Structure 1
Amino acid sequence: MTDTFSLADLGWAPDFLRQLTLDELSALLPCRISAVHRTRIEALGRTGPLNLMLPPALCTADIAVGDWALHDGARLVRLLDRRSTLARRAAGTGADRQLIAANVDTLFIVTSCNADFNPARIERYLALARAAAVAPVVVLTKADIPPDPAAWQDRAAAIDRRVPVMPLDARAPGDRLSDWCRPGQTVALLGSSGVGKTTLANALTGAVQATAAIREDDAKGRHTTTGRHLRRLAQGGWLIDTPGMRELRLSDAGAGIAATFDDLDALAGQCRFADCNHQTEPGCAVQAAIGAGTVDPARLARWQKLRREDRINSETLAEAHARDRAFGKRTRAALRDKSRLRGD
């Protein structure tokens, strides 16, 4: 693989060019972020790989693999606005958002034909993709193992008939995914540990990385992708590989959830009451559809769970701090009142 790239090779588009001023066009160079470290970043430019220092105004949490940026040869100067952003609510109790990848065209949602297969998890990834305006594709690995792989494909397709489902052997995917891997295109791999993401990434890029043994009966194993990297695909596009995710908490994904459950969203608009909870309220169109057998109650429960989660997680960091401050004031006031009542 060559160490030099044209901007078109890297996925450059006219909307990135339009963001540059005349001074920037003459003094700075575009690059694409390929890896993010604690105090520096790796990038790819027309001259090849780059190691760039961060400016004081930026921290690594602000930068995603796949970002486009401007540099002066030694330092990243500024980030360009993204075409798409895949992000999740950071693990823990804070309100921070964690960037997953930027400027992605297609999200490969990787699961496998075994115990890992989980409709709720797939719907969660679909909502994430659609919230970011990224096209989703469900990739079913280990399709060479079960006696009836078509049954697994049918199960995946039933989750959302609009989404392509591609069953394959991750070790030899052939051209099953070629439509999304051409020059100038960027794909991201997301999925839980043990589904074969590293094996698939190796096959798509022609590279070799360490892979851990997986027990096929229960899909248990250890992922060996330890960080996010931008990697060249054998067909000329770009791959952002990510570590296996134990938890994907949605935030600011209301539009993606509505698009993934558009049938339920449409039914909810027909309910008698605008604030219907779709439980026992009279005139509930969703419950009527369940009674008619056209809506699965389990699907309704998954939709409601994602909506609640997104509503809670979508509060901004400032709102979270304001809530915490208000709670602290109420607690201190209650303690003062209690102290006065005791005569302290």
Structure 2
Amino acid sequence: MTHDLKTLGWTQTFTSQLTPEEFETLTPVRIAEVRRRGVVILDAALNRSERALTGELVASDFAVGDFALADADRIIRVLDRKTLISRRAAGVEAKPQLIAANVDTLFITTSCNHDFNEARIERYLALAIEAEVHPVIVVTKADKPEDMPAEVYKGRAAAIYDGADVLVINAKDAEDFARLETYCGEGQTIALVGSSGVGKSTIATGLTGLDIEIGDIREDDAKGRHTTTSRSMYQMRGGGWLIDTPGMRELALHDAAEGIATLFEDITDLAATCKFSDCKHDTEPGCAIKAAIEEGRLDPERVERWRKLRDEDAHNSETIAESRARGRKFSKMVKSVKKAKNAKRGG
């Protein structure tokens, strides 16, 4: 079976980034897995191989799904991404954690039981909207819903954001998988997110034909438990690519203000009509949001979720920006010290 770069998801977006010399001397590859000291790559023939990271490149510079240029021994550079899904990394240090790159569709998985949670789904939707990735809410366990009929869960999911597709499925049903596979054609890249226990492993196995176990990551140390936890890319039966992501208990947003504003567009538009531009939408007079709640036009719980996501994103974005600024300042200081030492030796 023959392949070309289009099979990997390569488009003109990436071709335009190459110089004539790079066309002649380097090989375009896609990052299939990121490890601590290296990456696993796929070439146009779909051969997998490892490349060590040398020079200034480190593992945190890469996301599964990245396109890069490589020679026989190493990765030379990462190409600009078409889309990027990231979050604020867990832990004390403020920095972004890259999740998946060059994704076309995000499968946001939940289930017809207590796992269904509007607030969690909204987080993933804000992430997808900000990254300009098409969101599909996949509600599993339609064959055994709890508390209410599966159609009610579908309605709740559809009400969250009209820009998302909603599929309510039995992950063990062949016809339901055919509906999922319409997003999974050749060259298309799907990322799979959601909490543990909602059927992500079943979906991943069904789409790829491989026995894939998607585990969980502990937020305190990012080490997996019970099952495989590294993010990896697999070819699907429909010809596209699946990037699995271990279950994330907490998805800390950053730099997602536009995504949040779009997701809560009705609230955002109302906020712009408040009497005061710095309105906190709490006790201030002339607050359009407060008036809409009192008149029954806005759900107060949804407004509170909007407020929480907006404030969290602003805090995380500012913290990461400050951390980057400190890093640049420290790097500049180190270079200055080295320069002074070298000048002293020369004298």
TM-score range, shorter chain: 0.7 to 0.9
Q: CA distance change for structure 1 residues 7 and 211 in 2, over 3 Å: closer, same or farther?
A: closer
Aligned to 2:74: 75
Q: CA distance change for structure 1 residues 37 and 113 in 2, over 3 Å: closer, same or farther?
A: same
Preserved contact between residue 189 and residue 241 of structure 1 (Cα < 8 Å): yes
Equivalents in 2 of 1:323, 1:312: separation in Å?
Answer: 17
TM-score (norm 2): 0.86
The letter for the 1-side match of 2:28 is P
Q: For 1:97-246, list aligned pairs within 5 A.
A: 97-146=96-145, 148-172=149-173, 173-210=176-213, 224-246=227-249
Preserved contact between residue 253 and residue 312 of structure 2 (Cα < 8 Å): yes
Residue 111 of structure 1 aligns to a residue whose secondary structure is strand
Equivalents in 1 of 2:226, 2:204: separation in Å?
Answer: 12
Q: Which moved more, 1:160-169 or 1:100-109?
A: 160-169
CA RMSD of aligned residues (A): 1.8
State the 1:323 CA deviation.
8.2
Q: Deviations over 1:26-65 (max 9, x none)?
A: 0001000000111111111023112112122100001000
Instruction: Select the residue among 303, 309, 312 that pairs with 2:312.
Output: 309
Q: CA distance change for structure 1 residues 156 and 27 in 2, over 3 Å: closer, same or farther?
A: same
Preserved contact between residue 5 and residue 45 of structure 1 (Cα < 8 Å): no
Aligned to 1:270: 273
Is 1:12 aligned to 2:3, yes or no? no
Aligned to 1:330: none
The letter for the 1-side match of 2:94 is A
Preserved contact between residue 192 and residue 244 of structure 2 (Cα < 8 Å): yes
State the 1:209 CA deviation.
2.8
Residue 109 of structure 2 aligns to a residue whose secondary structure is strand
Q: Which moved more, 1:299-308 or 1:39-48?
A: 39-48
State the 1:93 CA deviation.
2.1
Preserved contact between residue 224 and residue 243 of structure 1 (Cα < 8 Å): no
The letter for the 1-side match of 2:21 is D
State the 1:262 CA deviation.
0.7
| Unaligned stretches of 5+ residues in structure 1 | 213-221, 325-344
Q: CA distance change for structure 1 residues 242 and 223 in 2, over 3 Å: closer, same or farther?
A: farther
Aligned to 1:287: 290
Q: Deviations over 1:282-306 (max 9, x none)?
A: 1111111112211100000000001
TM-score (norm 1): 0.87
The letter for the 2-side match of 1:6 is D
Preserved contact between residue 89 and residue 97 of structure 1 (Cα < 8 Å): yes
Q: For 1:30-41, list aligned pairs within 5 A.
A: 30-41=28-39
State the 1:315 CA deviation.
2.0
Equivalents in 1 of 2:137, 2:82: separation in Å?
Answer: 22
Equivalents in 2 of 1:39, 1:271: separation in Å?
Answer: 52
Q: For 1:78-89, list aligned pairs within 5 A.
A: 78-89=77-88
